[in-house]
Structure 1
Amino acid sequence: MARVRTTRNPLVAAAIVLAVAAAGAAGWGGWSHYDAAHDDAAAYAEARDDALAAGEQAVQNMNTLDHAQLEKGLDSWEDSTTGDLHRQLVDGRDAFVEQIRTARTVSTAEVLSGAVTELDDRAGKAGVMVALRVTVTAPEGEPAVKESRMLGQLTRTSQGWKLSALGQAPVGNTAG
């Protein structure tokens, strides 16, 4: 009777084990990537980040204006807005131009921080709170620096998120 040899080459056995482990890791990685790409939470997070970036930029735009480049600044305001806020800016533009030309001020805003306060991605509505440092320079005297918090409502348009309302956030203790 012939004897069957049962010993194997250890290198072949190690290669098989490594190949099976690599195939398992590749399969798991592929599934994880697919799952993450089709996760509603990832899409929601992306919409939130887009709304925040647009909101911060729009609030900064609305608090920045140079009398020497007035038309460019007011165009930026109008490009950042939609709805009733946009209509108010367009309707009041001529009167505002006169006020700023008379005052000859320059205001610049710096975003300190921002947060999305609400997001309804399906309805295309979002709310943001943005903390700003605004510097207003008049023709004479020292620049005035003020920090403030603004609350904005955003509406998603075909051009992206735009401000549809903007106001000052309450400051201080509002508890009874």
Structure 2
Amino acid sequence: MARVKRINPLLAVALTLAVLTAGFAAWSGWTWYAAADDESLAFAKTRDEVLAAGEQGVQNLNTLDHRELRRGMETWEKSTTGDLRDQLREGRPEFEKQVRNARTVTKAKVLSGAVTELDERAGRARVMVALRITVDAPKEKAVTKESRMLGALTRTDDGWKLSDLGQAPVGDTGPSAGE
């Protein structure tokens, strides 16, 4: 009679665990590689960069202290590009004079923001940013208001910069229910 050789149970368990571990490692590597090459992941990263730059730029352009006017205006210029930067530079002397005379301190805080449009290939994007703006003038009570701004951004060698900025419409602009 032929003798049947028994497999050591400990060896069988170890072999099974090794096969399972190798399979899990292969699956993990493949999913990691697929995620790293995923275009939607790259798009999401760009969207996050645009949102951060848009929120910071809008906040910068709504914050200005008459005591640190030069630094504030330099921050404005660093946050912008194109026609918007040109407009700021062109109007800077008169604007600085007005701010010095009024002696105001304006502080903006971003409440929320969203990317409303992103064209990576063209290097253009749009954002909407909600702000709380506080204006403090001498001998007057500080005034706080909430505002929604629409900004256009352009990709530059230095990152995303505001190329246009305006007030978002407020209220219902569509036809009324009875129309």
Q: Same fold (TM over 0.5)?
A: yes
Aligned to 1:144: 143
- Provide the rounded CA distance (Å) in 2 between the counterparts of 1:155 and 1:4: 80
Aligned to 1:155: 154
Question: How many correspondences in the alignment?
Answer: 175
- C-alpha distance after superposition, 1:102-123 (max 9, x if no partner): 1110000000000000000111
Residue range with higher mean Cα deviation, 3-12 or 82-91: 3-12
Q: Determine helix, strand or coil for the equivalent of 2:160.
A: strand
- Provide the rounded CA distance (Å) in 2 between the counterparts of 1:168 and 1:35: 42
Partner letter of residue 156 of structure 1? R
Aligned to 2:30: 31
Q: Determine helix, strand or coil for the equivalent of 1:45.
A: helix
Give structure 2 stretches of 5+ with no counterpart. Answer: none
Partner letter of residue 65 of structure 1? L
Q: What value does the CA root-mean-square deviation take over the aligned residues?
A: 0.7
- Provide the rounded CA distance (Å) in 2 between the counterparts of 1:138 and 1:83: 31
Q: Equivalences for 1:19-168 in 2 at 5 Å?
A: 19-168=18-167
- Provide the rounded CA distance (Å) in 2 between the counterparts of 1:73 and 1:84: 19
Using the TM superposition, give the Cα deviation of residue 141 of structure 1 relative to its aligned residue in structure 2, in angstroms: 1.3
- Provide the rounded CA distance (Å) in 2 between the counterparts of 1:96 and 1:74: 10
- Provide the rounded CA distance (Å) in 1 between the counterparts of 2:95 and 2:68: 14
Query: Does 2:166 correspond to 1:173?
Result: no
Q: TM-score, normalised by structure 2?
A: 0.96
- C-alpha distance after superposition, 1:73-125 (max 9, x if no partner): 00000000000000000111101111101111000000000000000011111
Q: Determine helix, strand or coil for the equivalent of 2:165.
A: strand
Q: Determine helix, strand or coil for the equivalent of 2:101.
A: helix
Q: Determine helix, strand or coil for the equivalent of 1:92.
A: helix
Using the TM superposition, give the Cα deviation of residue 4 of structure 1 relative to its aligned residue in structure 2, in angstroms: 3.5
Would you identify which runs of 4 or more consecutive aligned residues in structure 1 move more than 3 Å? none
Q: Determine helix, strand or coil for the equivalent of 1:170.
A: coil
Partner letter of residue 175 of structure 1? G
Using the TM superposition, give the Cα deviation of residue 21 of structure 1 relative to its aligned residue in structure 2, in angstroms: 0.5
